[in-house]
Amino acid sequence: MKVSARRAGSDDIANLESLYRSLEQEMIALHAMWPLADGLDEPVSQSLAAALDDSSTIVLIGEIDGYPFGFLLARVERLLAQADGELVGAIRLIYVDQEAREVALGEEMRDMALQILRSRGITKFDAHVLPGHRLAKNFFEAGGFAARSIIMYHDDDRE
């Protein structure tokens, strides 16, 4: 079994959208607000195409024996003005199909994204994880990440 990661291209959009929809279902089960605040703008295929065209965004496909089982979307973001123009590499989305977990596909994509970002001179990294998603939190902590912020949420319409 060969586990690998590669940069996604425009011919991967259908696979990326399918993987994204699986991620979306998993995240909705954790928090109904996810597709409204943390996912991609609809139509997702256009958002993915725009991400592929954006030089500050990295989109990777994770494969097992050449078949796509996961994806990662990271982008370069600017810190506040007092950070003197310093940039942070933010892993915004990462997903591996349930049947392909436990074979280091997520690690392959995460490590490749960090390598690409480091090659651009970036030394600070964020990873977005929902509260209660213990597996994702553990995954990033195993890669050297630590929590620095939690976003609290309240919805008057849901009282």
Domain count, the chain: 1
Q: What is the mean pLDDT of residues 98-117?
A: 96
Query: Tell me, what's the pLDDT at 145?
Result: 97
Query: Tell me, what's the pLDDT at 159?
Result: 66
For residue 157, being part of any structural domain is answered with: no
Centroid of chain to Cα 3: 18
* Structural domain of 114: 3-149
pTM of structure? 0.95
pLDDT digits (tens, 9 = 90+) for 10-54: 999 999 999 999 999 999 999 999 999 999 999 999 999 999 999
For residue 156, being part of any structural domain is answered with: no
Q: Which residues contact 117 (CB under 8 A, 6 or more apart)?
A: 58, 74, 76, 89, 125
For residue 43, being part of any structural domain is answered with: yes
CATH code (residue 59): 3.40.630.30
